[in-house]
Amino acid sequence: MRTWFSKRLGDGVLAYAPKDQIQDMFPAVFAAAGRPADMAVFTRHELEGRLQCEVLAYFSPAAEGIARQLGAQACEKPFRTELDLLAGEPGCWSVLFPEGQ
């Protein structure tokens, strides 16, 4: 299995700037890579026992270049539950989560 990456973007309000940065970077890298169906970035709001939620970005293995540029760390593949597609093509869901997890 190829490595996924994650990066904490801050709480719900502070996460807007890093999310915008990812969305600005993604199209050129995506196009240069030939628009692979398995290249995507997802976000999820997570509480993990905190008072306020924190937004985490999950980079698919094909998005490793962007992940590394942003200082993301290797992680396990996230569960599909409550993920939102931040960057990538809508068809990536069935490619990256064929088991429907």
pLDDT in tens, the chain (101 residues): 589 999 999 887 788 899 999 999 999 999 999 999 999 999 998 876 555 688 999 999 999 999 999 999 999 999 998 899 999 999 999 999 997 65
Q: Residue 23: its pLDDT value, please?
A: 96
Q: Residue 101: its pLDDT value, please?
A: 54
Q: Residue 99: its pLDDT value, please?
A: 79
Torsion of CA 66, 80, 77, 99, to 10 degrees: -120
Query: What region, left, alpha or beta, does residue 49 occupy, with left being phi > 0 and alpha being psi -120 to 50 degrees?
Result: left
Q: Residue 28: its pLDDT value, please?
A: 96
Query: How far, in Å, CA of 13 to CA of 69, rounded?
Result: 23
* Threshold 0.85, pTM exceeds: yes
